[in-house]
A and B are shown apart, each in its own frame.
Chain A
Amino acid sequence: MTVPALQITQLAKSFGGVAATRGVSLTIMPGERRLLIGPNGAGKTTLFNQIAGDFLPDSGSIELFGETITRLPTRKRVHMGLGRTYQVLTLFPRDTFLHNVALSLIGSEGGGWSAWGALKHRSAMLEQAEQALVGVGLGQAAHRRVSETSYGERRRLELAMALAQKPRLLLLDEPLAGLSAEERETVRVLLEQIPRDVTIILIEHDMDVALAFADQITLLNFGQVILEGTRAEVIADPRTREVYLGG
Chain B
Amino acid sequence: MTGRQLAAWALVALALAVVPVLLPSAFYLGIATHALIFAIMALSLNILIGHGGMTSLGHAVYLGVPAYGVAVMTMQLGWSPVPTILFALALGTATAALFGVLALRASGLGFLMITLALGQVMWGAAYRWVGLTGGDNGIRLSGRPTLFGINLTDAVPFYIFVALILFMALFCLWQLDRSAFGACLRGTRDQPRRMRMLGHDVWRIRWTAFVLAGFWGSVSGVLYCYDYQYVSPAALSLPQSAEALLMVVLGGAGTLAGPVVGAIVITAIKTIVSSYVDRWYTLLGLTFIIVVSVMPTGLVPGIAAWVKGRRA
A102 touches B195 (CB 8 A): no
A106 touches B200 (CB 8 A): yes
B184 touches A103 (CB 8 A): yes
Q: Please, which residues of chain A bring their CB within 8 A of the CB of B204?
A: 111
Best-surrounded residue of B191, B198, B200, B205 (most CB of chain A within 10 A): B198
**Does B128 sit within 8 A of A, measured CB to CB?**
no
List B45-94 residues whose CB lies under 8 Å from chain A: none
Q: Which stretch from B175-183, B213-221, B295-303 is at the chain A interface?
A: B175-183
A93 touches B190 (CB 8 A): yes
Residue from the list B176, B180, B186, B196 in contact with A106, Cβ < 8 A = B180
Q: Please, which residues of chain A bring their CB within 8 A of the CB of B201?
A: 75, 111
A75 touches B183 (CB 8 A): no
Q: Which residue of A lies closest to B174 (CB)?
A: A118
Interface size on B, residues (CB 8 A): 24
**Does A78 sit within 8 A of B, measured CB to CB?**
yes
B200 touches A75 (CB 8 A): yes
A107 touches B205 (CB 8 A): no
**Does B149 sit within 8 A of A, measured CB to CB?**
no
A75 to B187, CA, bound (A): 15
B194 touches A118 (CB 8 A): no
Residue from the list B178, B184, B191 in contact with A90, Cβ < 8 A = B191
A103 touches B187 (CB 8 A): yes
Q: Please, which residues of chain A bring their CB within 8 A of the CB of B190?
A: 92-94
A84 to B197, CA, bound (A): 7
A122 to B181, CA, bound (A): 12
Q: Please, which residues of chain A bring their CB within 8 A of the CB of B191?
A: 90-92
A78 touches B187 (CB 8 A): no
Query: Hey, what's the 0/1 contact readout for B148-190 against A, CB within 8 Å counting as 1?
Result: 0000000000000000000000000001101111111011001
A104 touches B198 (CB 8 A): yes
B179 touches A107 (CB 8 A): no
A74 touches B184 (CB 8 A): no
A113 touches B205 (CB 8 A): yes
Q: Which residue of A lies closest to B200 (CB)?
A: A107
Q: Please, which residues of chain A bring their CB within 8 A of the CB of B184?
A: 103, 106-107, 113
Q: Please, which residues of chain A bring their CB within 8 A of the CB of B187?
A: 92, 103
B198 touches A103 (CB 8 A): yes
A109 to B182, CA, bound (A): 16
B198 touches A54 (CB 8 A): no
Report the minimum CB–CB distance from A166 to chain B (whole Å): 12
Given A103-B183, A106-B183, A119-B179, are A78 and B198 also a contact pair (CB < 8 Å)?
yes
Given A106-B184, A116-B179, A118-B178, are A90 and B194 also a contact pair (CB < 8 Å)?
yes
Q: Which residue of A lies closest to B205 (CB)?
A: A113
B binding-site residues for A, Cβ under 8 Å? 175-176, 178-184, 186-187, 190-191, 193-201, 204-205
| Extra inter-chain contacts (8) besides given A53-B196, A54-B196, CB under 8 Å | A52-B197, A74-B197, A75-B201, A95-B186, A106-B180, A113-B205, A165-B198, A165-B199
12 contacts between A and B (CB under 8 A): A73-B196, A92-B186, A93-B190, A102-B180, A103-B200, A104-B198, A111-B204, A113-B179, A113-B183, A115-B179, A116-B180, A117-B180
Which 10 pairs, one residue from A and one from B, show the smallest C-beta to C-beta distance? A107-B198, A107-B199, A78-B199, A90-B194, A74-B196, A113-B181, A113-B180, A118-B178, A107-B200, A75-B199
A binding-site residues for B, Cβ under 8 Å? 52-54, 73-75, 78-79, 84, 86, 90-95, 99, 102-104, 106-113, 115-120, 122, 161, 165
